[in-house]
Structure 1
Amino acid sequence: MKFERYVALGDSFTEGVGDPDPARPNGLRGWADLVAEELARDNPGFGYANLAVRGRLLRPILDEQLDAAVAMRPDLVTIYAGGNNLMRPKLDLDALAAEYDEAVGKLAATGARVLVWTAYDGSWAPVFRILRGRWAVYNELVREIADRHGATIVDFWRFAEYRDLRMWDFDRLHMSSAGHRNMAIRVLDLLGAAHTLTPAEFEAAPVVSAAKRAEDRRWAREFLVPWLGRRVRGTSSGDGVAPKRPTLQPV
């Protein structure tokens, strides 16, 4: 299938946090930009919009992005939302799923190909291990939503290659440039789209050392503590950030 209008919705995952590029809007590239660039090859009429903003919970994503996306009459839509909700202390998963279900239904009603994601199984990381059960329930609800509306699942939960820390940025919450590139390949392959991307090649994983443990302590000090502080204060990393591609534009 040849796509003409691709709209990406979501949070930092789709905005491209972890894949810096000073030449691009918001200083980020990310997997969605890479997907758009590949879909635009030999397709001069192709348009791409990316409405995602880091830190957004599900409700703000729907309030700020859903109607704008529908108005662009896309034939391809990607949405990954709810990940930030999953890390909040209090969460009504059924209510979250009901809102997500309505949104995916509205996107599917446009006739667009809709892609949704399962949450990644980050239980190998001690800080996030306690959330595994919540992630698993969320994923089953997302699978039901996808089945109900004919959406396509990008099954992040089963992508074993992300157990390599080099697929993650320093904060261990966002993908690295290599992780974003790999995600773009996964999406393009799922769409059956020809592309020129190749996965990153890593040397053997480094052995855990005193330097690695020191890095763990720096991570806790420089990322984990400030991140927890924002949760307590109710602030977001996306406060004051605008979508990097708010309208359909050529790539």
Structure 2
Amino acid sequence: MRARRFVALGDSLTEGVGDPVAAGWRGWAALLADGLGPGVEFTNLAVSGSQTRDVLDRQLTAALDLRPDVASVVIGVNDTLRCTFDIHAVAARLDTVYGALRASGAVLLTACLPDPGAMLGLPGALARPLARRQRAVNTVVHALSERHGAVHLHASEGAWLTDRAMWSADRLHPGERGHRQLALRFHALLAGAGVATGPAPSAEPDSPAPTRGAGLWWLATAGTGWVARRCTDLLPQLLALAAAEVRHKARGTSARLDLSASHAVASALAALSVAEQRPEVA
């Protein structure tokens, strides 16, 4: 009888950025693996910067080859930070990934995530378009998680978002305490479903939380590069979106932007339902 296998797919959050160990990054998925039960084999396929298309095109095949018993797919923030953002494409990719993993027999783990604009403290006109995109992704993840019977974690809300001790110096990734919180919350859900049989991860970190000075240092050094890499892609579009926010607010028509985003999400999910119901042509 082979050992149970846990495979994690996603981006820097699942890779473990913000939770450094001697060998690199650890993160919530590695912490969770230790609590799934004795002898669990863990493989982390997540890569920093990944988008939903990377999970579909690169990580999914490798995951299926490993025949996982448990598979996590936590992805979508990087899609919202690109000028190519398309909620229809995001929904279609996630539907394919979720469906393939569930069809393989794996227990599927998913999560909705906080919006990056709020975490970075961007001005309202810049933050609102990003928030709207992240809400769209979260709505899709909620709907598809239910459709595919996933174990879903609501990580886009709660007191942990405003607890500075939970976050790393970059303000975008959880620190060790935050990664432990994610692992604990997933473990509780899996234990309730009879999937996790090992002890819950400890909530207490081994290392102290980063200081405010460390956060400022990150913004002045590595953070500058992080922003610059995205400016060439996102910033021109984000400025246009911000200008639209300002115009609609001045006219009192801001609700139209939210309504348009809601219609796009509904259309994306409806398209998946139509495709699922369409009979195949021999």
Q: TM-score range by the shorter chain?
A: 0.7 to 0.9
Q: Which residue of 2 aligns with 1:29?
A: 26
Of the structure 1 ranges 84-93 and 140-149, higher mean CA displacement relative to structure 2 is found in 84-93
Compute the displacement of 1:215 (Å): 6.4
Q: Are 2:202 and 1:198 aligned? A: yes
Compute the displacement of 1:223 (Å): 4.0
Q: What residue ranges of structure 1 are gaps of 5+ in the alignment? A: 202-210, 235-251
Change (3 A) 1:106 1:224: same
Q: Which residue of 1 aligns with 2:89?
A: 95
Alpha carbons 2:166, 2:178 under 8 Å: kept: yes
Q: Which residue of 1 aligns with 2:45?
A: 51
Q: Which residue of 2 aligns with 1:245?
A: none
Distance in 1 (CA, whole Å) between partners of 2:185 and 2:85 is 30
SS at match of 1:79: strand
SS at match of 1:7: strand
Change (3 A) 1:217 1:35: closer
1:122-144 superposed Cα distances (whole Å, 9 cap, x missing partner): 53642273321211111111111
Distance in 1 (CA, whole Å) between partners of 2:79 and 2:8 is 19
Distance in 1 (CA, whole Å) between partners of 2:226 and 2:104 is 37
Q: Which residue of 2 aligns with 1:144?
A: 143
Distance in 2 (CA, whole Å) between partners of 1:64 and 1:80 is 15
Q: Which residue of 2 aligns with 1:163?
A: 162
Q: Which amino acid aligns with 1:199?
A: A
Q: Which residue of 2 aligns with 1:174?
A: 173
Distance in 2 (CA, whole Å) between partners of 1:196 and 1:48 is 16
Compute the displacement of 1:220 (Å): 3.4
Alpha carbons 1:76, 1:113 under 8 Å: kept: yes
Of the structure 1 ranges 192-201 and 63-72, higher mean CA displacement relative to structure 2 is found in 192-201
RCO (CA 8 Å, sep 6+): is it higher in 1 or 2? Answer: 1
Distance in 1 (CA, whole Å) between partners of 2:105 and 2:112 is 22
Q: Which amino acid aligns with 2:183?
A: A
Over alpha carbons, which structure has the higher Rg?
A: 2
Q: Which residue of 1 aligns with 2:6?
A: 6
Distance in 2 (CA, whole Å) between partners of 1:137 and 1:154 is 16
RMSD: 2.4
Change (3 A) 1:64 1:166: same
Alpha carbons 1:11, 1:52 under 8 Å: kept: yes
Alpha carbons 1:116, 1:154 under 8 Å: kept: yes
Query: How many residues were matched structurally?
Result: 217
Change (3 A) 1:55 1:125: closer
Change (3 A) 1:84 1:47: same
Distance in 2 (CA, whole Å) between partners of 1:221 and 1:88 is 23
Alpha carbons 1:8, 1:50 under 8 Å: kept: yes
Alpha carbons 2:19, 2:25 under 8 Å: kept: yes
1:224-235 matches, cutoff 5 A: 224-232=223-231
1:177-216 superposed Cα distances (whole Å, 9 cap, x missing partner): 1111111101100101352433238xxxxxxxxx95x766
Change (3 A) 1:196 1:59: closer
Compute the displacement of 1:230 (Å): 1.3
Compute the displacement of 1:233 (Å): 5.1
Distance in 1 (CA, whole Å) between partners of 2:27 and 2:215 is 25
Change (3 A) 1:215 1:15: closer
Q: Which residue of 1 aligns with 2:182?
A: 183
TM-score normalised over the length of structure 1? 0.78
Distance in 2 (CA, whole Å) between partners of 1:37 and 1:172 is 27
Q: Are 2:219 and 1:220 aligned? A: yes
Distance in 2 (CA, whole Å) between partners of 1:217 and 1:47 is 38
